[in-house]
Structure 1
């Protein structure tokens, strides 16, 4: 379950950003310790501008980055990585243009603010999951990470709905569901780790703010 959840996070981060995740020495793919402790990797972030909204951040796809101590995987892999990052940058630029062209309320933040905010939030999302994963009650951990994965999936869906399909009403429905799933995730995390639950509170507040912004943009542009 944890492996699938982390794969979802890595795919999501690859879609949204550029940066670097490296598994520390002594751990394998998915953060599973070779000694069986199940420790997850530390997350290293890098600043980049990214499109506003729920589905954007500036962390990288670990699948294309060599682990610490490994040799690079060759020019073909590097070329694919460059193409992926180039596409990500183009997507961010396009989303930024869409956002700037919309009628927005006076309290809407500038597009450049979303990148730094999501960089910090994705770090807290990953660390919170790691803290929960360490808990010995595997049944409750599994349930909590199911909710964590659900909110992450809803987070991922928002960006194409809002920026690509321009379906602001459906995007609002998605973000409201995200808000509910995230609230349940925090409740489940609280039963296993108070610090993990607290780490998700800024994320909850930001999603609530983004929900209000989505609703206002929908009203102003229909």
Structure 2
């Protein structure tokens, strides 16, 4: 009888730890991840804008591939932190899978664009900017739905609006402009940096 009571108590403690880990880990962890991606992307956008604008050399646009390097670094750090966690919740696993798929969307898009460009002898990788906003926005909104945070859910709508604007320019046969870099950076500030600060602020007050 005593063993049953001990087992029940341990189960309650385990559930309590899992709930606490999910609540704190999602908000603080997700907030920090959003801040890292948001600030890095915004800084890279401004840097590449200045390089292309002042040199009039589009070769600097290949600097966008640094996003994949940064993503690899963040993924490696996430895996390392995950091994140190005493409790890994189902929600943590779901979020990791969501962003893993989003990452593959980026990679597959670049590979396909590269193959098609090679086949035709020419390619315009500027299309990656609006597509990246859509992919990143979808992943962010799904994260907001899972952790039940409105700022994370709805902030990507701004990025969606910029993405649609860019895609519509293609339908009007208008070329991509260097201004797209600033639209891209601004979108990430709104859909990742601001929600990231909100998440961390709420997590701080809940402690």
- With the length of structure 1 as denominator, give the TM-score of the two structures: 0.31
Bigger helix share: 2
Larger Rg: 2
Highest RCO, 1 vs 2 (Cα 8 Å, sep ≥ 6): 2
TM superposition score normalised by structure 2 = 0.33
